[in-house]
Amino acid sequence: MHRDVVVVGSGPNGLAAAVTLARAGLGVLVLEAQPTVGGGARTLDLGLADGVVHDLCSAVHPMAWASPFFRGFDLAARGVELLRPEVSFAQPLPDGRAGVAYRDLDRTAERLGDDGDAWRFVVGRLAEHADHVVRVAMGDKRSLPPGLLPRGTGTALHFGLQVLEQGTTWGRRFSGDVAPALLTGVAAHAITPLPSLAAAGTALLLASLGHAGPGWVIPRGGSGSIVAALVDDLVAHGGEIVTDHPVRTWDDMPPAHAHLFDTTPRTVVEVLGDRLPRHARESLEGFRYGNAAAKVDFVLSEPVPWADPEVRRAGTVHVGGTRDEMIAAEAAVHAGQHAERPMTLVSDPTVVDDSRVVGGLRPLWSYAHVPAGSDVDVTEAVTAHVERYAPGFRDVVVASRCIPAAHMSRHNQNYVDGDICAGATTMWQMFARPTARRDPYATGRDGVYLCSASTPPGPGVHGLSGWFAARRVLREVFNTAVLPSLAPDRTAEVWPAI
Ligand SMILES: Cc1cc2nc3c(=O)[nH]c(=O)nc-3n(C[C@H](O)[C@H](O)[C@H](O)COP(=O)(O)OP(=O)(O)OC[C@H]3O[C@@H](n4cnc5c(N)ncnc54)[C@H](O)[C@@H]3O)c2cc1C
């Protein structure tokens, strides 16, 4: 049956695109390879303990809070509660000290002592103008973000200068070792060698969001609540989702005026084959995939016994030690080796969400950085690493499950060889993502668009890639200059077309 639009993949970007287009009155069909919808934002019962659910991929959502798409969509009005840990992120150090990024900037700076003013300068100034930072770092990387000039010029300049400073000479501005470690732990989200400009950009965006608004929020019940809100809205506007439907060839999709791929460029090349012009295919084939992550989910009988009591308040803990240790660990991974103490990200949703504790048992979410394609079970490495900062951790572990990097693509083929960023985070690919085309969402074939984290603004649950791509589709395929409201009550602001 002919559709107006087919979306391949039901991750947050695919659903954001689908919702936008369905709200514009178009007939939208979403085809999802997996049995469950939501891609990198699913919350599932892994069978580790009765009733205890885990976030399969994403767990912590500063980007969803900051995203203009989700602002318009209004998660709160749809019953999605974004819970606010008092501590956005923390960085325990081997000697027992810890960097602690409270939502409250003053408290953070005070605890950093002599480096408090430098933290205010580097991160705090950005946090105070987080709206402008979001426009700079979470735009389509091709157009001047609306509303940035002239008022955001100073913030944009400060952001750029700090990327240069932090991305080339980590910590020169800092005199101690806690603040540099605290910022480097955030930079490590880029899963790329440190220091680097791309990692510094990631660090400055995420760290500033840690002090802006609600900080690094965690949805009540897990990330799946965001997916459920998107699916409800899509269905309410006539959209349809078919699961267990991998798209491998062009014939796996019904005809439509527009096809959007919430996938990697690799999948677009496989599905379209010769339907793509040769130069377009070659440039999509040049897209690079990056270092990987292996997931370890735990069930605990008690909260993690972090040595520093303030770390126990954190929704997210970066387990990597000192700045030098993290630089060495990421360098090893980039060289294709397993670090003895791999950079590990840990999130305990029960810090803010009691509903996640079932029968006295609680989930703990973690992943560790490993070389691309690694099939190593990192449970022991992660356990030992956490134990270093939380003596007794081993004793509270009731069950665990590892998904090695090489197996990540079994539950989401966008994570090529375990690259959870759906493409390497390099400075080139921050801007020329997925290619250097003027329109990053175009594929080279009329009516076919990319809308995944492989396009700007890159990884994260923000829905912006889907939203930006949908805007192109409305304008170019359906000649519509006005975007539909995303708000639940249909009466709110109409976004201007770009
Ligand atoms: C372990 C892990 C931890 C993360 N932590 C965070 C976090 O805390 N906060 C955050 O903001 N982000 C986090 N991320 C990143 C975030 O999950 C992703 O960047 C985000 O989900 C990307 O959204 P997307 O819609 O582009 O793609 P995805 O969410 O990856 O969804 C793509 C969908 O397309 C489907 N698909 C792919 N190919 C096909 C095909 N050929 N046919 C049909 N369907 C197909 C997939 O099955 C999948 O459902 C994490 C990711 C991982 C893996």
Q: What is the pLDDT of residues 101-129, one digit of tens each?
A: 999 999 999 999 999 999 999 999 999 99
> Are the C-beta atoms of residues 181 and 329 closer than 8 Å to each other?
no
Q: Which residues of 454-486 are buried (b: 16+ CB within 10 A; e: fewer)?
A: bbbbbbbbbbbbbbbbbbbbbebbeebeebbbb
- The per-residue pLDDT for 145 is 85
> Are the C-beta atoms of residues 445 and 259 closer than 8 Å to each other?
no
- The per-residue pLDDT for 233 is 98
- The per-residue pLDDT for 496 is 43
Kindly tell me if the per-residue pLDDT of 151 is higher than 70: yes
- What is the band of 41 on the pLDDT scale with cuts at 50, 70, 90? very high
Residues with CB under 6 A from ligand 1: 8-14, 31-34, 39-41, 57-61, 63, 246-247, 262-263, 267, 293, 295, 367, 412-415, 420, 452-453, 459-461, 465
DSSP 150: T
Question: Which residue matches tokens 């501590």?
Answer: 87
The domains of the chain, with CATH numbers, are 3-37+221-287+425-478 (3.50.50.60), 62-216 (no CATH), 288-423 (3.90.660)
Q: Give the mean model confidence (pLDDT) for residues 186-212.
A: 97
- The per-residue pLDDT for 498 is 36
- What is the band of 493 on the pLDDT scale with cuts at 50, 70, 90? very low
> Are the C-beta atoms of residues 316 and 99 closer than 8 Å to each other?
no
| Cα end-to-end distance, the chain, whole Å | 31
- The per-residue pLDDT for 171 is 53
Chain centroid to CA 124: 22
Which of 43, 44, 263 best tests ligand 1's pocket when mutated (most atoms within 8 Å of CB)? 263
CA distance 85 to 107: 14
Burial of 412 (0-12, 13-18, 19+ CB in 10 A): buried
The predicted-structure confidence for 156-179, as pLDDT tens digits, reads as follows 999 999 999 999 975 579 999 999
Kindly tell me if the per-residue pLDDT of 495 is higher than 70: no
From atom 41 of ligand 1, which residue's Cα is the shortest distance away?
A: 247
Q: Which residue has the higher pLDDT, 19 or 168?
A: 19
Kindly tell me if the per-residue pLDDT of 432 is higher than 60: yes
From atom 14 of ligand 1, which residue's Cα is the shortest distance away?
A: 58
Could you tell me how many residues make up the chain? 498
- The per-residue pLDDT for 482 is 84
CA distance 157 to 302: 46
Amino acid at site 24: A
Q: Give the mean model confidence (pLDDT) for residues 220-244.
A: 98
Kindly tell me if the per-residue pLDDT of 497 is higher than 70: no
What average pLDDT does the chain have?
96
Q: Which residue has the higher pLDDT, 201 or 489?
A: 201
